[in-house]
Structure 1
Amino acid sequence: MKNILKITIALAFVTVLSSCWGDKSKPNYQYMPDMYKSVGYETYSENPNFNNGMTTQAPAEGSIARGKVPYDYKDTNEGYEAAKLDLKSPLEVNEANLENGKKMYNIYCTSCHGKTGAGDGTLVQRDKFLGVPNYKDRDITDGSIYHVIMYGRNMMGSHASQLTAKERWQTTMYVQQLRTELLK
């Protein structure tokens, strides 16, 4: 019994060892050759695999890019008014959201609106921009603030490319907190 085990182990060892040498010019057997050698197409070249015959394809209709949230309000006065009435924050008002909102506000808003939202930022003091509104003088809601951050309004440009949807809502929360403090 011990001899059979020793012979089996020796044969297995010799078989494994012999597979390391041999004719290297002959490739190994490929089970799925198309996985080893895929057909590459240039970006704007013709491609017979698609209906329109082109390699570059438009995104599927109705698809949303990863990390993007659709915003259904148009960049018009009607869109602003609709957002002002209907749009509500999906985030809970808590310390973490307010803290990040404050951080984003200090980066993007303080230079014009000032630290307290009184419209007295550095650029206003240096007469670079005039007429920046004080938050307490405005009839604003979460929806109107978010809409203005998204598209801009009057002299203020859009900040949609600098802030994610979540950061826009956090900044909106912080602006509402500043407004509440100014109204006291």
Structure 2
Amino acid sequence: MLAMNKTKLFGTACFAVAFAALISACGDHTTRSTGWEFSRNMYDPVGNNNPDQPNKNFKNGQTAQIPPAGTTPVGFERFDYPNTLEGYEAAGANVHNPLAQTDQNLKEGQHLFQAFCSPCHGTDGRGDGPITKDREITDSRGTRKLENFPGVPSYTKSDGISSSRGGLMSDLTDGKIYHTITYGVNLMGSHASQLSPEERWKVVMYVHELQKQ
């Protein structure tokens, strides 16, 4: 009998604690408070996951910090030739395509060229992409001409076009083409954010095929 009473008493106590916890976790419909929460640390992360939140661990009180000088982000491939004419010439003389010239790499280079380069350079690299030609658009305001993109040089040997930085377009080396894709030149902007280093080298490989025409 005594053991049974202890069991009932223990069960009643557990029920009372659970009921009290349930009631305390409910709101009172007058505030936005949700009441007490069990294991609050399970909801609030210890780490500073938001780069904009304050952080007392650093002198400037910020979570987002400038990386130490000379460090390289994970997955980033450093290109040690500056965006200058001297850097361009040095890259042309010293940088070579690290990829093997295979049918697969060439095919992927062609696909990337058509997707990212042909609107200006044309499908055959002759500088006759669609945005260099006369175009019209018709909408609710009527029909009007679109502005053309001027001065895209041809890569092909048969056209014999000179580069704005010296030499023929058909003679551009691996390093010069890669440098131009990375930084851009004249009206051409950088494509470093659109093409990974490996993708740029595949485009370089395909451009050399266009130069042979």
* Alignment TM-score, normalising by the size of structure 2: 0.62
The residue aligned with 1:45 is 54
Q: Determine the C-alpha separation between the residues in 2 that align with 1:104 and 1:158.
A: 15
Residue identity opposite 1:58 in structure 2: I
Q: Which is strand-richer, 1 or 2? A: 2
Shift of 1:50: 4.7
Q: State the Cα deviation string for residues 124-147 of structure 1 (Å, max 9, x = none).
A: 233712221111231300111111
Residues 1:108 and 1:61: Cα distance change in structure 2 (over 3 Å):
same
Asked if residue 132 in structure 1 is aligned to residue 147 in structure 2, the reply is no
Q: Which is helix-richer, 1 or 2? A: 1
Number of equivalent positions: 155
Shift of 1:106: 0.4
* Alignment TM-score, normalising by the size of structure 1: 0.71
Q: Determine the C-alpha separation between the residues in 2 that align with 1:46 and 1:119.
A: 52
Asked if residue 114 in structure 1 is aligned to residue 139 in structure 2, the reply is no
Q: Determine the C-alpha separation between the residues in 1 that align with 2:204 and 2:188.
A: 15
Q: State the Cα deviation string for residues 76-113 of structure 1 (Å, max 9, x = none).
A: 11111111111111111111111111111001111111
Q: Determine the C-alpha separation between the residues in 2 that align with 1:40 and 1:177.
A: 52
Residues 1:46 and 1:122: Cα distance change in structure 2 (over 3 Å):
closer
Any unmatched runs of 5+ in structure 1? 1-21, 26-34
Q: Following superposition of structure 1 onto structure 2, how do residues 15-26 of structure 1 map, counting pairs within 5 Å?
A: none
Shift of 1:52: 5.9
Q: Determine the C-alpha separation between the residues in 2 that align with 1:66 and 1:46.
A: 24
Residues 1:50 and 1:93: Cα distance change in structure 2 (over 3 Å):
same
- Secondary structure of 1:75 counterpart: coil
Q: Determine the C-alpha separation between the residues in 1 that align with 2:112 and 2:93.
A: 25
Shift of 1:171: 0.4
Q: Give the alignment's Cα RMSD to 1 decimal.
A: 2.9
The share of aligned pairs that are identical, in percent, is 43
The residue aligned with 1:179 is 211
The residue aligned with 1:164 is 196
Q: Determine the C-alpha separation between the residues in 1 that align with 2:86 and 2:120.
A: 26
